[in-house]
Amino acid sequence: MSSEIKVRTYLEKSRPMLIGGQWSEGSGGVQQLIDPATEQVIGTAALAAETDIDLAVAAARNAFESPNWRRMPPADRAQRLWKLAELVEENADELAYLDTLNEGMPLGLAEFLCGAGPAEALRYYAGWCTKIEGTTAAISMPDSRPQGAFGPAYHAYTLREPLGVVGAISPWNVPTLMALAKIGPALAAGNTVVLKPSELTPLSALRLGELLAEADFPDGVVNIVPGTGAIAGAHLAAHKDVDMISFTGSTATGKEVARLAIGNLKRVGLELGGKSPILVFEDADLESTIPALAEAVFMNSGQICFAGTRVYVQRGIFEATVEGVARIAAAMKLGHGLDPETALGPLISARQRDGVMQYIEAARAGGDRIATGGNRLARDGFFIEPTVIVPKSINSAIVRDEIFGPVLCIMPFDTLEEAIALANDTPYGLASGVFTSSLSTAHRAAAEIRAGSVWINCYAMLDEAMPTGGYRQSGWGREAGRQGVEELTQTKSVVASL
């Protein structure tokens, strides 16, 4: 069956939520889902009410306490994650089609972000199941008791244990990847999960619920409850029986989630917004740098948290870089993500498009130079042309705020010191890039930039082995890598008198 027919069949009935291994209509009504490229309804999905969140948390708690999961040997958890990776790859065409239809991204991009990308990530996490270890320690206090022939009389060690129930809240961009980025490490560490995907794009996460059952995870280990942020998200964040809330979304919502989570002092992980800088030095290889700059900002129509939206270029190559990036942007074909010619899809919603257009209009009114783009398309769908702006002031809103659209601000600098100061002149600190042929410049910049990721002569080179997360208002904690897994565990100290 083609992916189109599979998806059309899947969408024939309203998609229910997954609680305790059962598919449920829930109590919060249904939500119409929109294709952002056509503004047409593509299907409906259940919305969770607070009572559904309570049921999902109870199911996750039961699953966590059950020996089926709690006493499952780590190698068996690993085998299930590995199986899930295979199933994700086998069903990548369907997951990608769902994400393209519901989120708007070009199908080619979706196929990677729904298949090989998350499958490799799941295999990485499968590897961790058998490697979550404590340490032994030498007790350093002098021991006044008589020492026997065998030396110190204590055995001291640490255990790393799962936290319990992890509430995961994910955004609408890159839905499959975001869902698996939450589920994979949480399960590797032995937790159970209640995932609330964005109410705008719940379809692929719900399809993953079926694959989780096929991969033989016990009922209730993962529960998937789409719902609005204000009702389902807020209730999950505040829930007294949730041990950690792992949130990905905007900085404003992240602050609200942290406030809600305080009631039971649950652990909070926040992957938030950014306004990521890229520094381009005169000794950079412009031929490869210019396309990399365009991709860094325009991928998924700028709706990527890491998007390199502030580019600072050394003055001698400034105009050539502006002209090169603008030329690539102007040639990008906007269209439906299912059209193989499409380079850029729509934004997620009318609200998002209108918000981005307000920034562009304010820039235009303020006299900023619009090197290319700057318009919405006069057709159905929430399309905005890829836009390159040379701002008059580094203090304008378009330079400072996260816009989450296809808008690049490009500005000149003269010295390394000035470039670093400009890069760090932001309340965010998620990611950054440096393009140069000088090792010294690259690593001096990497040391000075205040951001969770620095890419040198490449951009958004994400790998599950590398922790990601934000400095300053881009978040708390790290996902991925050893640290990402360890943040989903807690440490117990054990001291035994021998």
Q: Which is nearer to ligand NAD, 247 or 281 (CB)?
A: 247
Interacting positions 36-95 with ligand NAD (CB under 6 A): none
Q: Which is nearer to ligand NAD, 47 or 326 (CB)?
A: 47
- Alpha helix ranges (H) inside 224-375: 234-238, 251-261, 286-298, 318-331, 350-365
Helix, strand and coil percent figures for the chain, each rounded to 5: 45, 20, 35
363 vs 361: CA distance, rounded Å: 5
Q: Counting beta carbons within 10 angstroms of the beta carbon of residue 266, is it exposed (0 to 12), middle (13 to 18) or buried (19 or more)? A: buried
CB of 393 to ligand NAD, least distance (A): 23
Q: Does 430 bind ligand NAD (CB under 6 A)?
A: yes
Q: Does 305 bind ligand NAD (CB under 6 A)?
A: yes
Phi, psi of 335 (to 5 degrees): 175, -170
392 vs 412: CA distance, rounded Å: 11
Sheet with 136-137: strands ordered across: 136-137, 154-162, 489-497
Q: Which is nearer to ligand NAD, 229 or 335 (CB)?
A: 229
Part in contact with ligand NAD (CB under 6 A); list of ranges 53-61, 243-251, 280-288, 353-361: 243-251
- C-alpha pair distances (Å), 304 with each of 274, 311, 453: 9, 16, 14
Q: Does 314 bind ligand NAD (CB under 6 A)?
A: no
State the catalytic residue, choosing from 305, 402, 464, 479. 305
Paired tokens of 350: 């009318």
Determine whether 129 is an active site residue. Answer: no
98 vs 101: CA distance, rounded Å: 5
Q: Does 271 bind ligand NAD (CB under 6 A)?
A: yes
Interacting positions 366-425 with ligand NAD (CB under 6 A): 402, 404
Q: Does 199 bind ligand NAD (CB under 6 A)?
A: yes
Part in contact with ligand NAD (CB under 6 A); list of ranges 138-146, 232-240, 409-417, 418-426: 232-240
Name residues whose C-beta falls within 8 Å of residue 204's C-beta, 6 or more positions apart in sequence: 95, 98, 99, 102, 114, 175, 176, 179
Strand partners, 78: none
Q: Which is nearer to ligand NAD, 217 or 306 (CB)?
A: 306
Q: Considering only CA atoms, which of 115, 123, 22, 113 is closest in space to residue 80?
A: 123
- Please give the size of the binding site for ligand NAD, defined by CB under 6 A: 29
The radius of gyration of the chain from alpha carbons, rounded to an integer in Å, stands at: 24
State the catalytic residue, choosing from 103, 111, 199, 271. 271
Q: Does 249 bind ligand NAD (CB under 6 A)?
A: yes
Determine whether 305 is an active site residue. Answer: yes
Q: Pick the binder of ligand NAD from 14, 62, 250, 457 (CB under 6 A).
A: 250
Q: Which is nearer to ligand NAD, 198 or 372 (CB)?
A: 198
CB of 325 to ligand NAD, least distance (A): 21
Which residue's C-beta sits nearest to ligand NAD? Answer: 229
Chain residues in the site for ligand NAD (CB under 6 A): 169-173, 196, 198-199, 228-230, 233-234, 237, 248-250, 253, 256-257, 271-274, 305, 402, 404, 430, 475
Catalytic residues: 271, 305
